[in-house]
Structure 1
Amino acid sequence: MVAELSTQLVAQQQHAVKLLTSAKRICILTGAGISAESGIPTFRDKQTGLWENYRAEDLASPIAFDRDPKMVWSWYQWRRQLVQDKAPNPAHLALAQWQQSVKQSHQHITIITQNVDDLHEQAGAQVTHLHGHLWRNRCHQCDKPYKIEGINKENQYANDELITCPHCAGYIRPDIVWFGEALPVEAWQIAEQAAASCEVFMS
């Protein structure tokens, strides 16, 4: 049996529907909670196995990578293994369907995420990533993107050996925004503009 909504909640729901259908520009910010429903541990969750004695904050920084690149790279390979079989949940799918459904209408929906997984993209959404991409790599020294060729996704993340950049011999790192690093300029500009110009902001 479904509980009936109070008169106040019904009124609030109707108001929300009116806002969402009449707004021309909608901005949506997602974070760890939306992907937690797909089984992806949040950054603040307790770590397990080999990593239970480390805090994520102590591993996700340029200082940590400079001090022990092998340990940080191994931790990210472990995280990738945890995430690689996860799929979008109904929230990812709903946002993607909503975004796609308004393409021919007066509305524009900008989705911005703090997540580094690609579940929004798997669901079919166009997304701006503020904190980078778990599945991409770049050189820690010269910043050039690096793609691992000739190996399937599963084996790619089982190997935690360090990789060096073919351009400068620096170590390859995940293309993630770490503590102490600036957000990517283009992504931040898109997010700032969308948030400043929208009529409805959802978080």
Structure 2
Amino acid sequence: MDIDHNNERSLDRLANTLKSGHMVLFITGAGLSVASGISTYRSETTSIWSNFIYEWGTRKKFYEDPLVWYNKFWLRTHEKIEYFQAKPNEGHHAIARLSHRCKIKVVTQNIDRLHVKTSLLESNLVEVHGRLGLYKCVNTGDLHKKGRKKKNPINTVCPYAIDKNICTIDITKYEPKQGTNFEDGSLEIQEVPRCPGCNDPALPQALLFDEKYTSHDFYQWHRVLNWIQRSAAIVFIGTSFSVGVTQEAVLVCAAQGKDMYNFNVRVEDEVSELKDMYHIIGKADVMIPMLDKKLVNNNNRPRMYYHPTSDECMDVQMEYMDKVEPYVD
């Protein structure tokens, strides 16, 4: 495959930074998962985003009627069979391979779990917008919300609302309304998922538009900020630069003069004029493997550039052996 000269120069520059042993942060967005069959939020007029996700993707809307929220919004947009059947594409696997060769960290805006299904160690990953299949409690101590159980003491915050994950809920196993089912995308449930700790309504473990990154420990916002500050460069993959984590990263890079790399199918207006932004235009599942190949085949032989510290080696070997994905040229 021919590659644009600008892309080639940018890939070479990034490869040299990765070879240096400095930490590089990868921030991935919806564009990375397109090749896995998952639609993006913002890129096309037919996408989920253009319909009603912004209006309904809030805790405020959930409180109005939790059951309606699940049936009209969540089950129509996220808890769908294509999400559960999706598999990591070559872009995901290339990032995972790079993580074993170079010192990289990954922050993903995607809740699709696809990074987790690769050989990328979870110690090098933050799912800053949540993870499909996990849930959280709404009990933050307010009794006036619809669906709250009055037996809960005032001002008692459930740990599942702030620092624990609910992993025992499988909404696809709930009794469906007659004539609906998960397989054809028509599923409607008859009761709201509830917290095992306090029996209040449970929300999906996903950052909603009116929630903060610090609202739950799962989002590891303090860790993300640390990685942004420590990184020698930041690589953005398939993102529209319209959410808090990308905006924070761009601001820090601009202030500190760090290199930024934008792997995308187009150059977004928000970053088109940024001084230190290098644009690699093309599909993520094509361009990221090219970067990986540059590092593997340097001087016509595979090389390892990154050797983790003793602290980073803790528990890594077993996790890697369980998840390793072989390199395919």
Which category of TM-score, normalised to the shorter sequence, fits these structures?
0.7 to 0.9
Checking the alignment, whether the CA contact within 8 Å between 1:164 and 1:172 is kept in structure 2 is: yes
TM-score, with length taken from structure 2? 0.52
- Structure 2 CA distance for partners of 1:39 and 1:163, relative to 1, 3 Å: same
- Structure 2 CA distance for partners of 1:66 and 1:117, relative to 1, 3 Å: same
Do structure 1's residue 148 and structure 2's residue 164 form an aligned pair? no
Cα distance, 1:148 vs structure 2: 3.0
TM-score, with length taken from structure 1? 0.80
Structure 1 gap segments, 5+ residues each: none
Do structure 1's residue 189 and structure 2's residue 187 form an aligned pair? no
Cα distance, 1:71 vs structure 2: 2.2
- Percent of aligned pairs with the same residue? 21
Residue equivalent to 1:119: 114
* Higher relative contact order (CA closer than 8 Å, sequence separation 6+): 1
**Number of equivalences:** 190
**Which residue of 178, 182, 190 corresponds with 2:208?**
178
- Structure 2 CA distance for partners of 1:86 and 1:154, relative to 1, 3 Å: farther
Cα distance, 1:188 vs structure 2: 1.2
- Structure 2 CA distance for partners of 1:138 and 1:24, relative to 1, 3 Å: same
Q: Tell me, what secondary structure is at the counterpart of 1:136?
A: strand
Do structure 1's residue 58 and structure 2's residue 58 form an aligned pair? no
Counterpart of 2:226 in structure 1: which amino acid?
Answer: Q
Give me the CA root mean square deviation: 2.7
Cα distance, 1:180 vs structure 2: 1.3
Residue equivalent to 1:80: 79
Q: Deviations over 1:146-182 (max 9, x none)?
A: 3336x6x854665633123343331111011111111
Residue equivalent to 1:91: 91
Q: Which has the larger radius of gyration?
A: 2
- Structure 2 CA distance for partners of 1:12 and 1:202, relative to 1, 3 Å: closer
Equivalent-residue separation in structure 2 for 1:108 and 1:31 (angstroms): 20
Cα distance, 1:129 vs structure 2: 1.2
